């Protein structure tokens, strides 16, 4: 549609011309319930009436407002009625002859969404109740009300809404109902993309947070948390509130700027595309953070991290916002870093940096080696670019760089810089230089060179130790060698710790020496470690101070092959696992060797999050990186090892649950499938293993994949769990069955139809291509390349991303598929850059897999 993809140049021109004084938005949501309007083919709509008061720096100039809606009923600009057919093209409203002060009134019919974008409408299959919520980032508020959809045109908002009887409505400000209409307090100046509306018969729990500051002022924040009524019995709101209060204490202690947005509601909503969204006063989360069955501590840690990540955004992103999406890192990198920082220091999850090192950085390392890698401060040309920039670079690499900056500049200087930044730019918009200037003030360091190296160039460096020993077994030189890829040759300054490890008398691998050093250039000597006893393991980047790929010298790698399980420090162990995984991804270690290390040592892993990551990596290594001729044996070894660990795990422990899930993911033999079936029907038992509903679905999936669970069995399972969650599980299992007809139906339901909601599209894609069904889905590789440009043009960007990423023929791992991707890229040079990026990334993943397979077969 013309005008949907707002460009940076257009946004800059409009920001130079316009400033916004305020919005008033009324939404009539009563149409959310009842029969569909005018038959199933017409989108269900709601009335949206927006009044915008704004100024123009050049009276007489022209501009435009944003709105994506099926129709506009009435339009007026400065009291003059406009003909919608003449000024509204479906995504923009042309504004001519502007005055110095202006008022635009737009009365529109906006469409409810089934894709998680705009005003999402969900019907709970369990009880028929309807639930609404909004999701806008980066630019979908224009699907709900007319506005100027760019982050630097901030304004106060005053929302009101009329809802069906019995509903409650929430927004950014505190609300009250009068005469059937919910009216909300005016917000502080905020960007359009962080406004929010949540409406429906949600289960709502309340609490409050109080804080008395040193000057005697008192702050009281009303707290709320909500979910669908069907999830209320699972909702542990007390733990959500506990983490919330701990986070508010932490940020008040360190930011010296009281939470500025009044109340603090947190809504756990269905069919959510993201982990969460930082709408001030009304944060939204995916409802999967409400756990329907037994989960490990890693799941609670992940939820706490997300709660604190979104809370950090109240300052980094909501109070102070980037001018354009180029500087998205100013909010996401900081929130990602502060989420872990606050979690470790303020909650029970004190090992959060282990998860950060092992999990978040893995995301960053992958993204930073793709052909689409970019500097942390990115070049974002338009909104499609912006949508794809919510990636491992912006989040995890940016957070890793900030962790390195804290080591480089000092914790106190970093936090004092944040405090000055908030006070100087409150309710405003900033760019990179605004932050660096305050950090230079507080640290006394020239950050221009640091910024060029870390924020303005792409790529990840490798750090390798070189050790020279004397005849007496002492270190005569220990140097750190820094390398970079040819495509991104920048060598960066690193503040690193180098740890030396040897086995103790008890056989444990322990650190006996450590030195911190500033690594500069291609080779840096660590003088402090000269004279130390010969190490069995040298761990560069011990304590995870910098962002790099760790490599090992031959002695260290040999030690890990034999004694990795004896490494007693959990962070050091996590760093070694991550480094070994990077060696495997880079085709420097055979996949079967990595799998062998997992089978040998993962059973001794104490950190449950690391263990879950090892299972994911081992699965990827087997599916994509192992030589085809070894896959059958590798699968057997993984299943045998998983079952062995499952049987010896402590009954009822989180380790037992984790091994049970992993066993289900690799089970394929008749005996394995019989055991899973027995655990489902009660004829088999493993002491302490509670097979709750979520675990039942995990066991049903491999049974469906291998043709044991048919449509009738899956329908019976759904009857046990006739909920929204159960429906998603069933859809995934149905699509996973080994049948040509099943695959054809699944493909058509996603690629040829838009009848499914975003959650069911995701479930269908997840079930479609199974590793054991390579031959069955081979025919869809050419169909994929024939369809994706049309899908991208016809569907929303979220669904387009899901289809293009999720249905790429990764399992057709041959040079022919790479050639097909190259041919598509060559023939579609004019395709939207965001679409080309997705194909290019998947093509790169496949090429990496083929290189790894060659290594494994050698």
- Annotated catalytic residues are 310
CA dist., res. 647 & res. 93, Å (int): 65
Give me the phi and psi of 78, to 5 degrees please. Answer: 55, 40
| One-letter-per-residue 3-state SS of 465-500 | EEEEECCCCEEEEEEEEEECCCCCCCCCCEEEEEEE
Question: What tokens appear for 684 in the block?
Answer: 């088999």
Tokens 């609300």 correspond to 175
CA dist., res. 713 & res. 719, Å (int): 10
> Nearest 5 degrees, angle CA 442-CA 443-CA 444?
100
Question: What tokens appear for 255 in the block?
Answer: 């930011």
Beta bridge partners of 208: 222
Q: Rounded to 10 degrees, what is the CA torsion of 262, 268, 274, 280?
A: 0
> Nearest 5 degrees, angle CA 323-CA 329-CA 333?
145
Question: What tokens appear for 358 in the block?
Answer: 């092992």
Long-range contacts of 594-601 (CB under 8 A, 24+ apart): 594/618, 594/621, 595/621, 595/622, 595/626, 595/634, 595/637, 595/638, 597/560, 597/561, 597/564, 598/641, 599/637, 599/638, 599/641, 600/564, 600/565, 601/564, 601/565
Tell which residue, 10, 320, 334, has the closest CA to residue 150. Answer: 10
Tell which residue, 604, 676, 664, has the closest CA to residue 639. Answer: 664
| One-letter-per-residue 3-state SS of 661-716 | HHHHHHCCCHHHHHHHHHHHHCCCCCCCCCCCHHHHHHHHHHHHHCCCCCHHHHHH
CB 209 within 8 A of CB 244: yes
Report how far Cα 47 is from the mean position of its chain's Cα atoms: 32
Q: Three-class SS of residue 439?
A: helix
CA dist., res. 231 & res. 738, Å (int): 33
Strands 130-135 and 92-95, by their bridges, are unpaired
CA dist., res. 648 & res. 92, Å (int): 63
Report how far Cα 507 is from the mean position of its chain's Cα atoms: 40
Cα atoms in the Cβ-side hemisphere of radius 13 Å centred on 774: 12
Tell which residue, 574, 374, 588, 376, has the closest CA to residue 464. Answer: 588
CB 575 within 8 A of CB 499: no
């Amino acid at each position: 549609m013309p005008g949907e993809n707002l460009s940076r140049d257009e946004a800059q021109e409009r920001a130079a011309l316009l400033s916004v004084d305020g919005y008033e938005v009324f939404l009539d949501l009563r149409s959310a319930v009842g029969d569909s309007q005018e038959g199933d083919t017409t989108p269900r709509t709601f009335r949206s009436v927006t009044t915008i008061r704004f100024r123009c720096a050049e009276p007489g100039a022209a501009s435009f407002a944003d709105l994506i809606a099926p129709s506009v009923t009435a339009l007026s600009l400065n009291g003059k009625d406009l003909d919608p057919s003449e000024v509204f093209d479906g995504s923009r409203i042309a504004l001519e002859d502007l005055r110095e002060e202006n008022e635009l009134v737009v009365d529109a019919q906006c469409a409810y969404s089934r894709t998680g974008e705009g005003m999402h409408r969900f019907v709970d299959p369990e009880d028929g109740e309807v639930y609404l919520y909004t999701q806008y980032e980066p630019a979908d508020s224009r699907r709900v009300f007319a506005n100027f959809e760019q982050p630097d045109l901030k304004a106060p908002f005053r929302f009101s809404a009329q809802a069906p009887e019995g509903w409650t409505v929430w927004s950014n400000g505190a609300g009250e109902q009068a005469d059937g209409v919910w009216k909300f307090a005016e917000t502080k100046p905020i960007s359009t993309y962080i406004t929010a509306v949540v409406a429906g018969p949600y289960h709502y729990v309340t609490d409050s947070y109080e804080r008395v500051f040193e000057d005697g002022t008192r702050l009281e924040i009303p707290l709320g948390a909500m979910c669908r009524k069907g999830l209320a019995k699972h909702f542990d709101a007390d733990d959500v509130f506990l983490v919330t209060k701990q986070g508010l204490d932490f940020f008040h202690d360190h930011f010296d700027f009281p939470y500025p947005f009044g109340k603090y509601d947190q809504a756990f909503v269905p069919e959510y595309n993201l982990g969460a969204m930082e709408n001030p006063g009304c944060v939204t989360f995916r409802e999967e953070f409400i756990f329907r069955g037994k989960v490990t501590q890693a799941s609670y840690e992940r939820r706490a991290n997300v709660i604190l990540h979104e809370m950090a955004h109240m300052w980094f992103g909501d109070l102070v916002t980037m001018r354009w999406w180029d500087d998205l890192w100013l909010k996401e990198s900081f929130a990602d870093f502060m989420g872990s920082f606050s979690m470790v220091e303020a909650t029970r999850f004190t090992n959060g940096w282990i998860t950060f090192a092992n999990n978040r950085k893995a995301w960053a390392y992958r993204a930073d080696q793709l052909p689409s890698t970019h500097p942390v401060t990115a070049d974002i040309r338009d909104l499609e670019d912006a949508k794809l920039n919510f990636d491992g670079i912006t989040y995890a690499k940016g957070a890793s760089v900030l962790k390195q900056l804290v080591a480089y500049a000092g914790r106190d200087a970093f936090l004092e810089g944040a405090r000055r930044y908030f006070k100087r730019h409150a309710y405003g918009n900033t760019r990179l230089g605004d932050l660096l200037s305050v950090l230079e003030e507080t640290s006394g360091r020239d950050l221009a060179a640091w910024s060029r190296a870390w924020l303005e160039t792409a790529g990840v460096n490798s750090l390798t130790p070189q050790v020279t020993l004397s005849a007496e077994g002492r270190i005569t030189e220990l140097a750190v060698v820094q390398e970079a890829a040819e495509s991104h040759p920048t060598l960066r300054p690193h503040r690193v710790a180098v740890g030396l490890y040897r086995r103790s008398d008890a056989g444990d691998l322990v650190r006996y020496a450590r030195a911190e050093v500033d690594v500069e250039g291609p080779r840096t000597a660590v003088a402090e470690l000269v004279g130390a006893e010969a190490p069995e393991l040298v761990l560069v980047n011990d304590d995870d101070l910098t962002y790099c790929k760790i490599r090992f010298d031959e002695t260290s790698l040999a030690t890990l092959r034999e004694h990795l399980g004896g490494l007693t420090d959990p962070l050091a162990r996590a760093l070694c696992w991550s480094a070994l995984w990077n060696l495997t991804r880079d085709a420097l270690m055979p996949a079967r060797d990595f799998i062998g290390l997992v089978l040998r040592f993962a059973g001794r892993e104490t950190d449950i999050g690391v263990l879950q990551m090892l299972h994911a990596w081992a699965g990827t290594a087997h599916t994509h990186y192992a030589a085809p001729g070894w896959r059958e044996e590798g699968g057997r070894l993984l299943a045998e090892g998983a079952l062995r660990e499952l049987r010896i795990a402590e009954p009822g422990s989180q380790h037992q649950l984790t091994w049970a899930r992993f066993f289900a993911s690799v089970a394929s033999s008749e005996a394995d499938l019989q055991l899973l079936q027995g655990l489902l029907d009660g004829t088999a038992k493993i002491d302490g293993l509670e097979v709750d509903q979520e675990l039942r679905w995990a066991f049903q999936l491999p049974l469906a994949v291998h043709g044991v669970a048919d449509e009738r069995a899956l329908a019976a399972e759904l009857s046990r769990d006739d909920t929204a969650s159960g429906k998603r599980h069933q859809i995934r299992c149905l699509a996973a069955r080994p049948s040509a007809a099943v695959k054809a139906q699944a493909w058509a339901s996603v690629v040829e139809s838009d009848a499914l909601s975003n959650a069911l599209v995701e479930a269908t894609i997840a079930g479609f291509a199974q590793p054991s069904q390579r031959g069955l889905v081979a025919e869809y590789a050419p169909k994929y390349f024939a369809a994706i440009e049309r899908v991208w043009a016809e569907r929303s960007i979220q669904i387009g991303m899901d289809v293009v990423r999720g249905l790429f023929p990764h399992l057709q791992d041959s040079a022919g598929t790479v050639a097909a991707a190259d041919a598509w890229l060559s023939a579609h040079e004019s395709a939207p850059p965001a679409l080309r990026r997705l194909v290019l990334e998947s093509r790169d993943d496949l090429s990496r897999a083929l290189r790894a397979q060659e290594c494994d077969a050698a």
